Chains A and B, each alone.
Chain A
Amino acid sequence: MIIRTFIATSFAALCATSALAQDFQPESPECIAPANPGGGWDFTCRQVGKTLQDLGLIPGTMQVVNMAGGSGGVAFAEVVNKRSDDQDLIVAASSATATRLAQGAFPGNTADDVRWLASVGADYGVIAVAADSEIDDLPELMEIIRNDPTSIAIGGGSAVGGWDHLKVLMAAQKAGVEDVRRVKYIAFEGGGEAVTQLLGGSLQAFTGDLSEAHGFMASGDIRVIALLAPERLEGEYADLPTAKEQGIDAVGANWRGFYVPGDTSDEAYDYWASAVSEMYASDEWQTVMQTNGLAPLDLQGDEFDAFVKSSITEIEDLSREIGIIR
């Protein structure tokens, strides 16, 4: 009798668990964009939310909440401290988040405080010059920097020590520039502003993401001298030479993806990971990626978690080497 009850209850419990695994449904799905409307994180939330809804992968509409502050730090702290068990929540993140975490710029928080969910694509870094520039390729640019670092001002859309800056430094390091700290980097608010200054002649080179450079590249205003990808991309970007093939082995991908609160249950975590994974595979998302210059980066769950953590270690080492952190 007792045994029967035991079996029955455990069976019922088992059913309940498996039902939960299949049937976890967020009641009011929410995506926090840790910045004001208009930026990359906002774009990630809105575009993914819209595609998930269009494909019927989530019930109802994804509510996008903008929580600007501290380059993502305010949202990170909020999620860790106040909403760590919110199962309906995903938060947009990118390489910038990893960079901040690596440099200890989110006081009191580390990458282990949240669960890294999935990536939805990557934006490879580019180094570009104005169309009428005399610089032909990356080795030439690096040669000039090696001889006289003061003669080249490179602009990008992130702060000093941010991802756009680090990409150039990585390339410079691989190209044999001895004191990378002397590379002259000028910070702008957004890649678009930096490109404008490149066209106006205030800057000699631009470092940013392919998506930022895309429009100006197509119109012929700027020339990409190096794509920081492991190999050439397909389609309309096939002409872009990688840094690697020019003998400078630097790869810089600005991934876009999500994390979820640290106490998200495994059921909810799996639900969200598979929803994003299914969305990633859809034709709709492939179109979005194409029109926005996003390159493939298809990682979910534990794989993505490991990827983020290893990239944080890498950024930490580089930042220490160039003296941004001690």
Chain B
Amino acid sequence: MDTLASLADGFAVALTWQNLSLALMGCLLGTIMGALPGLGPSNGVAILIPLAFSLGLGATPALILLTAVYYGAMYGGRISSILLNIPGDEPAMMTCLDGYPMAQQGRAGEALALSGIASFVGSFFATWGLVLLAPQLVKVALLFGPAEYFALFTLAFATLGGIASTNQAKAAFAAALGLGLAMIGVDAQTGVTRFTFGEVHLYDGIDFLVAIVGLFALSEVFVFLEHRSTDADGDTGKKMEIGKLYPSWSMIKSCIPTMGRTTILGFLAGVLPGAGASLGSFIAYSSEKRICDRDGTFGKGDPRGVAAPETGNNAAAGGALVPMLALGVPGSGTTAVLLAVLLSLNITPGPLLFTQNPDVVWGLIAALFIGNFMLLALNIPMVGLFTRVLLVPPRILMPVVAMISFVGIYGISGSSFDLMVMVAFGVLGWVLRKLEVPLVPVILGTLLGNAMEANLRRAVSISNGDWFTLADSWLSIGIWLVAIVGFILPIFLGRVFRKKMDDEYEKELSD
């Protein structure tokens, strides 16, 4: 009950006109930033820090503004995923897989509204998790040593097969390519440079955002250009319909179990400092695909395939605040930025934050609740507005996409080198599309490769080269088992299913 009383105090702090309007502003700006390819939650928050300072805001209002941007960007990322097949930020990548097919089927409105609801569910319950479980969850984070993290990343890759592709070998090739790209840069364990060719800009490796925007957005532009030169009218016959704006109740109902499961998974992934929101949405999607994809509809516009990653990544966004507040260890890029904000407001996150600055913590948590409701209220009516993007003909839309990509990437890094890397990724993405190699595993490899490698090497060097350390605790053994089952089962089940489908097909033919 103590917690609830503190939460009520938090609401008392947060519910002023100033704070509410700041939250509203933050939600709007965040949604826009999340929707623009290239600008993600971490840049969004970073860009607004000077604004918070120059407005002379106190600690709590500043945090309310910035967390509203954070949550808003997590909501906004899905919009361009669904409408354009271009993820607005890293965690929204998985939403492309089913969201874009839904939009192509003329169900963009439903996909947007459903993902808005899924985002709300994920972050709403994750915020409750933060309220009730923060002190206990810290212990979960402590259970994960380097060996356990490595097992967790292996789990992510083991369940990769079949995601976004019918050809497992191509998916594996794409993942290997991504892992290879992740190796570029200074090796953090030894300080040795790898594949940098003496280029200082490559020392920190390839920025995921540059890779994502290049692979997804620019390659889309290239594909368009290619078709334009062959099709006289330039319109590739991709006439989109908007369709219904709101999902039917039965569709929402069919997604409820999915949302429930993925909230928990996403939240836990967020709590682990080494994992983060991208892993949250990824594990949410692949586990749901395993659990409920009996008819092979995932990847072809299954509403559950939209709900799963959106619930997962928003739950992870809430979860990532746990280690940030309670340990001072950021669980994601954005929480690293928030950590910096707290530090410059002279608040030190860490084990003592809850006792030393209760007003800040509970004000922040109350702000999260408020922001969440606002985002739901903003996003559902705005679905109609967003879907109009689809009516823009590609010959206008594509130059805009290209422009936003260049401006967005240059805006973050201020480096023309990154622009060239982005173009290179655009060409790579175009080639991969031609070869029908899925793009998502490439990004996942780049995104998770470094952390996976670092944890493997940490684990093995702590154990003085003994590889059995990787399966030395019950937790890691458990994760390994799930990974192995997740890897092997689909191979057998796939065969059975395919046989069954063939049989049915033949039966249909004979009927």
Residues of A that sit less than 8 Å from B by CB: 36-39, 42-43, 46-47, 50, 61, 63-71, 73-74, 77, 103, 105-107, 150, 153, 159-162, 184, 186-190, 192-193, 195-197, 199-203, 214-216, 218-219, 221, 287-288, 291-292, 324
Chain B, interface residues (CB within 8 Å), range: 35 or more
Residues of B that sit less than 8 Å from A by CB: 42, 45-46, 49-50, 53-54, 141-146, 186-191, 198, 200-201, 203-204, 273-274, 323, 327-330, 333, 336-337, 339-340, 343-344, 346, 348-353, 413-415, 454, 458, 461-462, 464
Q: Do A196 and B191 touch across chains, with their CB atoms under 8 A apart? A: no
* A192-B186 Cα distance, complex, nearest whole Å: 21
State the Cβ distance, B288 to closest chain A Cβ, in Å.
30
Whether A215 contacts B462 in the complex (CB less than 8 A), given A64-B50, A192-B330, A200-B143, comes out as: no
With a CB–CB cut-off of 8 A, which chain B residues contact A36? 42, 46, 333, 336-337
With a CB–CB cut-off of 8 A, which chain A residues contact B340? 37-39, 42-43, 46
With a CB–CB cut-off of 8 A, which chain B residues contact A292? 343, 346, 348
Whether A193 contacts B329 in the complex (CB less than 8 A), given A46-B49, A184-B461, A219-B351, comes out as: yes
Q: By CB atoms of chain A within 10 A, which of B42, B49, B50, B454 has the most? A: B50
Q: Do B337 and A63 touch across chains, with their CB atoms under 8 A apart? A: no
With a CB–CB cut-off of 8 A, which chain A residues contact B461? 153, 184, 186
Interface pairs A-B: 7 shortest CB-CB? A215-B350, A70-B203, A219-B351, A38-B336, A192-B329, A202-B145, A200-B142
* A203-B146 Cα distance, complex, nearest whole Å: 10
Q: By CB atoms of chain A within 10 A, which of B50, B198, B201, B340 has the most? A: B340
With a CB–CB cut-off of 8 A, which chain A residues contact B333? 36, 38
With a CB–CB cut-off of 8 A, which chain B residues contact A195? 327, 329
Q: Do A196 and B414 touch across chains, with their CB atoms under 8 A apart? A: no
Q: Do B190 and A186 touch across chains, with their CB atoms under 8 A apart? A: no
* A195-B143 Cα distance, complex, nearest whole Å: 13
The SS class assigned to the A binding surface is mixed
State the Cβ distance, B127 to closest chain A Cβ, in Å.
22
Q: Do B351 and A69 touch across chains, with their CB atoms under 8 A apart? A: no
A70 contact from B204, B350, B462, Cβ within 8 A: B204
Q: Do B186 and A162 touch across chains, with their CB atoms under 8 A apart? A: no
Q: Do B344 and A200 touch across chains, with their CB atoms under 8 A apart? A: no
State the Cβ distance, B476 to closest chain A Cβ, in Å.
12
Nearest residue (CB) in B for A149 is B464
Whether A70 contacts B201 in the complex (CB less than 8 A), given A43-B344, A65-B414, A221-B351, comes out as: yes
State the Cβ distance, A232 to closest chain B Cβ, in Å.
22
Q: By CB atoms of chain B within 10 A, which of A107, A192, A292 has the most? A: A192
With a CB–CB cut-off of 8 A, which chain B residues contact A64? 49-50
Whether A186 contacts B336 in the complex (CB less than 8 A), given A61-B50, A292-B343, comes out as: no
State the Cβ distance, B324 to closest chain A Cβ, in Å.
9
Q: Do A202 and B146 touch across chains, with their CB atoms under 8 A apart? A: yes
B344 contact from A47, A184, A189, Cβ within 8 A: A47
Q: Do B188 and A159 touch across chains, with their CB atoms under 8 A apart? A: yes
Nearest residue (CB) in B for A201 is B145
Q: Do A77 and B200 touch across chains, with their CB atoms under 8 A apart? A: yes
Q: Do A196 and B327 touch across chains, with their CB atoms under 8 A apart? A: yes
With a CB–CB cut-off of 8 A, which chain A residues contact B50? 61, 63-64
Q: Do B462 and A160 touch across chains, with their CB atoms under 8 A apart? A: no
Q: Do B344 and A46 touch across chains, with their CB atoms under 8 A apart? A: yes
Nearest residue (CB) in B for A293 is B348
A105 contact from B53, B191, B343, Cβ within 8 A: B191
